Amino acid sequence: MAAWLTRAGQHCQRVHQHVVQQGRVDLQPVQADELWVKLVRRGRPRLVLEPGLYLGQVGRWYVQRQVVSVKQRVLRGTAEAIAAVLAATHSGTAIQTAYIERLNATFRSALAALVRRGRAIVHTEAALTAGMWLVGCGYNFCGLHQRLRLTAPPGAPWKWQGRTSAMAAGLTHHRWTRLALLRYQVPLPAWVTPKRRGRPPKRALQPAMAVAA
């Protein structure tokens, strides 16, 4: 099972690189949230901020498991700059993390190591990465999302037309099945003739020597 998970995750990573990254998708604002995992490893990698990144944070205060207060604060950039980006991309008027929290819940339901206060431990970073690619590609290509649905065309026997994230981004016109995702044939990279080291072979020099004679 571990070997299958690794191969499936690596395949989904290649699918993402070929379909999504080559499709030049405009990400617009990107929500982010932390996911904690127990890994058999000492220390953590160094965190690096991308240039031009605006960073906001949403804080919630609870009383008896009920939200009593929600506050947003700016950690990087200015409130005016963040508001301008939200307005330009039609992403609302305030900093919020509803979409990434929905995605995090999907990851936690599929990967035991991401469950809060769980006992599962990840033994290798490669296994965790493969699982994230597998679940993430399934989320984008196979899962219908209510927020992305459209009104069905006139005469259709249903009211709504479901769409996946990939359909909404214009990367595909239909919903993929899990089997279709795992069977997707990623084209091989273009062949590049390796450069020959050292002197050229003698037979390559013979025509030039004959002309000189």
pLDDT, tens digit, for every residue of 35-94? Answer: 777 776 666 667 777 787 888 888 888 888 888 888 888 888 888 888 888 888 777 788
pLDDT of residue 207: 55
Q: Which of 70, 88, 78 is nearest to 29 (CA)?
A: 88
Q: Which of 31, 30, 11 is nearest to 19 (CA)?
A: 11
pLDDT, the chain, mean? 83
Each residue's pLDDT tens digit, 101-136 = 888 888 988 888 888 777 878 888 888 899 999 999
Question: What Rg do the C-alpha atoms of the chain give, in angstroms?
Answer: 25
Instruction: Say whether pLDDT at 24 is over 80.
Output: no
Query: Rounded to the nearest 5 degrees, what angle is found at the Cα of 113, between the Cα atoms of 112 and 116?
Result: 85
Confidence of residue 181 (pLDDT cuts 50, 70, 90): very high
The answer to whether residues 60 and 70 touch, using CB atoms and an 8 Å cutoff, is: yes
Angle between helix 2-15 and 125-141 (nearest 10): 50
Write out pLDDT tens, residues 32-48. 777 777 776 666 667 77
Is residue 172 exposed (0-12), middle (13-18) or buried (19+ Cβ within 10 Å)?
middle
> pTM higher than 0.75 for the full model?
no
d(CA 16, CA 32): 19
Query: Given the structure tokens 């999302």, which residue do they identify?
Result: 145
